[in-house]
Amino acid sequence: MIARIRVYALIIPLATLFAGPAPAAEDVTLLKDLTSVILLLGLPCGQVVRAKRQADNDHVATCKSGHRYRVFVNAEGRVVAQKQ
Amino acid sequence: MRALGIFLFALAAGCAGVKETPPAVKSPAEPLVVVPPPAAVAQPPAAPLQPASKDEAVKTEPVVSAAPPESKSQSVKPAPPPVKAPAKAPVPAVATEPPRKSESPPAVAKAQEPPLDVATLTARLRDTKAIGTFTKLALKNQVDDLLKQFRAHYASGRKASIDSLRQPYNMLILKVLSLLQDSDPALARTISASREAIWSILADPEKFNSLT
C-alpha cells in the first residue's frame, strides 16, 4: 500500500510537470502572433494571454488588459480584429 | 521519501532556471537602436538604387557595383562623426556611447546587403520566421493599402502632395521594424537602411508604375 502511494506520489507530480509545457510551447507562437496582429491594427491590448480557436484562421484572443478580440481572416483575405 | 523529495526539488529548480533564459535573449535586440542611422544614411541608398532599377535583368552587376560605393561612402561617412562627435561635444556621455554601438553593426550589415527594393522586401518578409502567419497577412494588407494610396495619388494627377504619403509610409516601416527588431534584427537593419531607397521608388511615378 505504501509502495503504491509512493509510486502515485512520483507519477502525479511528474505528469503535471511534463503534460503542461508541450501545448504551451505551441500557444506561445500563436499568442505572439495574435499580439502582433492586434497591435499592428492599432487596437489596445498589450499582450494576448489566452486564445481560443474557433475555426481555421479564427481565434478569440483575450488580452492582458482585459480586451477580447475575435481575430480572423475575412472573405476578402484581410485580417480583422473585432472587439467583443 | 527523502530521495523523492530531493528529486522533485531538483526538477523544480531546473524548471525555474529555464525561465530566466528568455530575458537574456532580449538583450541582443537592443543593438537595434540602429533605427536612427537610416535618417543619416538616407542619402546614400537613394543614389545607388537608380542603377539597380534600370537594369533589373542584370541585377548582379549593379548590385556589385552599387555595393562598393555604399560601403565606401558609409565607411567614410560614419568614420568622421565618431571622431568629431566626442571631440566637439563630450558633454553628453550617453549620447557618445550609442553612436559607437550603432557604428560597427550597420557598417557590417550594410556592407553585406545592398538596399532592398519593394519586391525583395516583400520576399524577405514572406520568408522570415520572425513573424507569424496572421501578422504577415495583416502586414501584406497594410502594404497593399499603402500601394493603393500611391496608385490613387498618381491616378489623380497631383504631383505636389506626394509628401503627404510619407507619414503613412514611415509609420508602416516603423511597424515592420518593431515586429522584426527582436526576432530578426538583421532584416530589420536592412529594411531600416533601405527606407530611403524604397521611398525613392514609391515617390517616382515611373519607377512606381514599373514596379506595379
This model of the complex carries an ipTM of: 0.71
User: Among B4, B134, B179, whose Cβ lies nearest the Cβ of A34?
Assistant: B134
If pLDDT is split at 50, 70 and 90, which confidence band does B134 have?
Answer: very high
Please indicate whether, in this complex, the C-beta atoms of B138 and A41 are within 8 angstroms of each other: yes
Domain carrying residue A69: 26-83
pLDDT of residue A15: 63
The whole-number pLDDT of residue A10 equals 66
Q: How far off is chain A from B89, nearest CA to CA, in Å?
A: 39
Interface test with chain B among A8, A18, A37, by most B beta carbons within 10 Å = A37
In a domain, A10, yes or no: no
What pLDDT, on a 0 to 100 scale, did the predictor assign at position A26?
Answer: 58
pLDDT score recorded for residue B3: 73
Which of residues B106 and B140 earns the better pLDDT score? B140
In one-letter notation, the amino acid at residue B120 is T
Of the candidates B17, B12, B190, which has an alpha carbon nearest to the alpha carbon of residue B198? Answer: B190
Is B137 in contact with A73 (Cβ distance < 8 A)?
A: yes
* pLDDT at res. A22: 52
The answer to the question of residue A30 being in a domain is yes
Across the range B169-193, mean pLDDT stands at: 91
How far is it between the farthest Cα atoms of chain B?
A: 83
The confidence band for B155, taking pLDDT boundaries of 50, 70 and 90, is confident
- Is A21 among the domain residues? no
Q: Tell me which H or E stretch contains A83.
A: strand A79-83
Task: Give B132 to chain A, closest Cα distance, Å.
Answer: 5
B131 CB near a chain A CB, below 8 Å?
A: yes
Span B14-26, pLDDT tens digits: 666 544 444 444 4
Most confident range (mean pLDDT) of B61-65, B93-97, B180-184 is B180-184
Higher local confidence (pLDDT), A44 or B84: A44
Domains identified in chain A, total number: 1
The per-residue pLDDT for B204 is 87
Q: Chain B partners of A41 at a C-beta cutoff of 8 Å?
A: 138
Which of A12, A18, A34, A40 best probes binding to B when mutated, by most B CB atoms within 10 angstroms?
A: A40
- Whether residue B143 lies within 8 A of chain A, CB to CB, comes out as no
DSSP, collapsed to helix, strand or coil, labels residue B181 as coil
More confident residue, B41 or B178: B178
Strands A58-63 and A79-83 turn out to be unpaired
Task: Quote the cell numbers at residue B130.
Answer: 520572425
Identify which of B28, B30, B115 has the alpha carbon closest to the alpha carbon of residue B71: B115
CB contact under 8 A, A37 and B138: yes
The amino acid that residue A1 corresponds to is M
pLDDT band for B120, please (50, 70, 90 cuts).
confident
| CA pair distance B126, B132, nearest whole angstrom | 10
Give yes or no for residue A16 having a pLDDT over 90. no
Whole-number pLDDT of residue B164: 87
Q: Which residues of chain B make contact with A78, given a CB cutoff of 8 A?
A: 137-138, 141
CA dist., res. A16 & res. B94, Å (int): 48
Report the pLDDT value the prediction gives residue B121, as an integer from 0 to 100. Answer: 81
pLDDT of residue B206: 86
**Domain contains A18:** no
Chains A, B: CB contacts under 8 A, how many?
49
Minimum-distance CB partner of B135 among A6, A13, A36: A36
* Domain membership flag for residue A4: no
Q: Which range, A12-16, A72-76, B98-102, is most confident?
A: A72-76
Q: Is the pLDDT of residue A56 over 70?
A: yes
Percent of chain B at pLDDT > 90 equals 22
Assess whether pLDDT exceeds 70 at residue B59: no
Asked if pLDDT for residue B116 goes beyond 90, the answer is: no
- Residue B27 in this model has a pLDDT that exceeds 50: no
Task: Provide the mean pLDDT of chain A.
Answer: 84
Task: Round to whole Å and give the CA distance between A27 and A33.
Answer: 10
b/e code B40-78 from CB counts within 10 Å (16+ = b):
ebeebbbbbbeebbeeeeeeeebeeebbeebbebbeeeb
Give the cell for residue B167. 507619414
Enter the C-alpha cell of residue B111.
Answer: 556592407
Residue B125: which of B115, B110, B135 has the closest Cα? B135
Closest-approach residue (CA) in chain A for B137: A79
DSSP class per residue in B47-89 = HHHHHHHH-STTTHHHHHHHHHHHHHHHHHTTSHHHHHHHHH-
Domain ranges across chain B? 33-211
Most confident of A66-80, B75-89, B191-205: A66-80
**Residue-wise pLDDT tens digits, B95-114:** 444 444 444 444 444 445 66
A8 part of a folded domain: no
